[in-house]
Amino acid sequence: MLPEEQKEMLLKTVDNFAKFRQYRKRAGLEDIMSYGAGLVIMLCGASGTGKTMTVNAVAHHLGESHCPSYGRTF
């Protein structure tokens, strides 16, 4: 479970991105710019700390069935 301050920051970031996506569509930017439409959030931690659960919660918050998740451990 995320501390409240981190949860609020994550949800504000996601909400602002959702607003940006709506604006981008209304302004017709999708037709002229095929890049810059994604949101990258890096989650790190040991196995079992809730990274995948956080991604699923963000997807649910956005009303998406899932969020693509690509990760690599270095």
Encode the chain (74 residues) as per-residue pLDDT tens digits.
788 999 999 999 989 988 988 898 899 888 888 777 788 888 888 999 888 888 888 888 888 766 665 554 43
Is 73 within a domain?
no
Give me 36's structure tokens: 């810059």
Helix, strand, coil share of the chain (percent; to 5)? 55, 0, 45
Structural domain that includes position 48? 4-62
Task: For residues 20 and 63, give the distance between their C-alpha atoms in angstroms, rounded to a whole number.
Answer: 16
Q: Do the Cβ atoms of 48 and 35 come closer than 8 Å?
A: no
pTM for this entry = 0.68
Is 37 within a domain?
yes
Is 38 within a domain?
yes
Number of domains in the chain: 1
